[in-house]
Amino acid sequence: MATSKCNTSLNIRSNSLPSRSHPSALRLEEQLNKLKTWEEAASTATADMICSSLSATEELYECLDDLLGLPLTQQALSLHQHEEWANELLDGSVRLLDICSAAREFMSQLSKHASDLQSALRRRKGDSSMESSIAKYTSFRRKMKKESKRLLAVLKRMDNKIGASSMINQDHCLEMMIRVLKEVSTRTISIFQSLLLFLSVPISKPKPAKWSMLSKLMHKGVITCEEEQENVNQLESVDAALWSLCRYGSNEGQNVQIAQNRLEALEADIQGFENALGCIVQASEKREKMLKLFLTGTVVQLNRVAERKAMAPSSKYNNGLNARLNSFPCRSHPSTLRLEGELNKLKTWEEGSFMPIADTICSSLSGMEKLYVCLDDLLGLPLTQQVLSLHQHREWINKLLDGSVRLLDICGVARDFMSQLKEHVSDLQSALRRRKGDSSMESNIAKYTCFRKKMKKDFARLIAALKQMNYTIEGSPLLDQDHHLHAVIRAIMEARQNTIAILQSLLMFLSTPVSKPKTTKWLLVSKLMHEERVTCEPQQESVNELKTADTALFILCRYGSSEREKMQIAQNRLEELEACIKGFENGLGCMFRSLIKARVSLLNVIPLI
């Protein structure tokens, strides 16, 4: 009887699954049959179908975990003579995790671009900000298409390798278990291929004939093709809507509304993909951990897999998607996966934050706390402690410890300045509430301005120190003798560089110069305020809170504080600044504690040297 390439799941119970009476075997067969049915019916997969298949894959992994937990399965997997195939299984598991993480990263960035487009459409219809957002979105789509094709090639090689690999004939139970694991990998590969094909749809302008008709329908106001869009790739429909906006302009509200509807539909699809991929990552981590636990005779092979992958050429799209392929040790440990995820988040923030706002900096400080928790878990691994305790590595350990001391000093100085700045802001608020227009307010403004100038000067010195640290870290020689050691140091330095980048952004945000606004602009502001039409609050979202506070205080000093509206604006600006300072204080406090904990983890190795 002929068999298919991927060992169809219809006969699983008769030739694949051990412990047939166990409920997990029956559920596993059922899930495999569901996925095979979906694969046969999905010549052109839609977003809903892909999300459903991803959810089914999560359930499939849960059944597989139950099957791996059976005593007979554990006994068969723990035999030492099967190291070669165990290495292949773990290698495939790691690669699937990498691809799943890459897809999640795509979803995160795509969601951000879609959100930016929606904001541009809502905020200023037809202006240059919308064109800029469309250009960024299109550029990212091209990059995502290129990376998706690369990952598709990797999946194809994996699929061919699974189909060509030989089976073990010594142990029937073991042979059946390996067959099941390969079947699950084949189904997972097929679903990831459909997802990446969905994401790699080319960006092209629609045909002139079709779009002249669409333009005609749009101008007649009879666009009722929503129902026909059900089976259309949402990326293509968004491309069409954006192309229409660029070609025909966004003056007509209907054009903009159609684009917004398409973006909302795309965002819903992205959210579904993100949730499903997150569940699959968690399930894959659990399965890989169980496999490594049972394959006690093959743990040494993991380092060989890591060394082979470290030698693989890296992509130009270096945004952390391949970090686990060449950076992080102990692949089955959850801390390495979380560490990679946090590093990718921070790298995305760094690339997209040319002029960071307060909320973004606060979020990045919170992300650093999570990153250091993962790093602490990595430093606590027995293998990590073993390689760090070697005597010949004393020199670079001292460099790492010296760097941690400098970061602690800078973080401590920044916290002190936050405390003093908060005190000055509180004094200004009290002066505004207590005695409007008297000399105490002018005195407090003068003290605040003097402190701001001092803070700017000191922060410029700290920024220079951080730049010097960044240069020192990048220039430090790494020991290539031990792959695990190299990977640990690389992870520590990556965390250090992210810390430096975030502290630099924070210090630059706080060291904005204290200067009087330009005359032409502030004559207009003054005119608007006197006409009682100052309603520009929404436009202040991306403005530095220190600058807005300076502006409000400058107006009070120049035009007096007799008018209630000016006083209220100043109070609002100071309240916003106070909230911003509080967020920075909390974030710096968490970072300070995390740095201390990481330093203690390194110091714990010193007595062993």
pLDDT digit string, tens, across residues 131-146: 788 888 888 888 888 8
Q: Looking at this protein, which amino acid is placed at residue 391?
A: H
Separation between Cα atoms, residue 284 and residue 276, nearest integer Å: 12
Q: Is residue 134 part of a domain?
A: yes
Separation between Cα atoms, residue 284 and residue 57, nearest integer Å: 10
- Between the alpha carbon of residue 70 and those of residues 78, 82, 170, 557, the distances in Å are 12, 19, 20, 77
Q: Are residues 179 and 40 in the same domain?
A: yes
Residue finishing a domain among 289, 312, 335: 312
- Between the alpha carbon of residue 485 and those of residues 188, 388, 397, 431, 601, the distances in Å are 32, 7, 12, 58, 15
The domain total for the chain is 2
Give the residue ranges of the chain where pLDDT is below 50.
1-21, 80-82, 125, 206-230, 296-332, 391-392, 471-476, 478, 517-541, 608-609
Evaluated on CA atoms 212, 214, 219, 220, the torsion sign reads positive
- In the DSSP assignment, the letter for residue 352 is T
Q: Are residues 299 and 418 in the same domain?
A: no
Q: Is residue 349 part of a domain?
A: no
Q: Is residue 465 part of a domain?
A: yes
Separation between Cα atoms, residue 99 and residue 322, nearest integer Å: 9
Which of 304, 322, 366, 314 is closest to 95 using CA atoms? 322
Q: Is residue 238 part of a domain?
A: no
Which of 28, 6, 9 is closest to 161 using CA atoms? 6
Separation between Cα atoms, residue 359 and residue 362, nearest integer Å: 5
Q: Is residue 510 part of a domain?
A: yes
- In the DSSP assignment, the letter for residue 318 is -
Residue finishing a domain among 282, 312, 342: 312
Q: Are residues 436 and 302 in the same domain?
A: no
Q: Are residues 389 and 299 in the same domain?
A: no
CA end-to-end distance (rounded Å), the chain: 64
Q: Is residue 32 part of a domain?
A: yes
Is the model's pTM score more than 0.85?
no
User: What is the structure's pLDDT at 221?
Assistant: 43
User: What is the structure's pLDDT at 535?
Assistant: 40
Question: What tokens were used for 103?
Answer: 């897809």
Angle between helices 128-164 and 234-248 (to 10 degrees): 150
Q: Are residues 292 and 398 in the same domain?
A: no
Q: Are residues 41 and 154 in the same domain?
A: yes
User: What is the structure's pLDDT at 80?
Assistant: 45
User: What is the structure's pLDDT at 313?
Assistant: 37
Separation between Cα atoms, residue 208 and residue 205, nearest integer Å: 8
Q: Are residues 95 and 186 in the same domain?
A: yes
Separation between Cα atoms, residue 84 and residue 594, nearest integer Å: 41
Which of 391, 341, 379 is closest to 498 using CA atoms? 341
Separation between Cα atoms, residue 329 and residue 492, nearest integer Å: 12
Buried b (16+ CB within 10 A) or exposed e, 467-483: eebeeebeeeeeeeebb
Q: Is residue 526 part of a domain?
A: no
Q: Are residues 150 and 295 in the same domain?
A: yes
Q: Are residues 300 and 410 in the same domain?
A: no
Q: Is residue 571 part of a domain?
A: no
Q: Are residues 305 and 435 in the same domain?
A: no
Separation between Cα atoms, residue 339 and residue 37, nearest integer Å: 37
Separation between Cα atoms, residue 93 and residue 89, nearest integer Å: 6
Q: Are residues 301 and 403 in the same domain?
A: no
Residue finishing a domain among 312, 330, 365: 312
Q: Are residues 63 and 151 in the same domain?
A: yes
Where on the phi/psi map is residue 437: left (φ > 0), alpha (ψ -120 to 50), or beta?
left
User: What is the structure's pLDDT at 370?
Assistant: 80
8 A C-beta contact, residue 341 and residue 369: no
Boundaries of domain holding 280: 20-205+273-312
pLDDT in tens, 246-284: 776 656 667 778 888 888 888 888 888 888 887 787 777
User: What is the structure's pLDDT at 11?
Assistant: 38
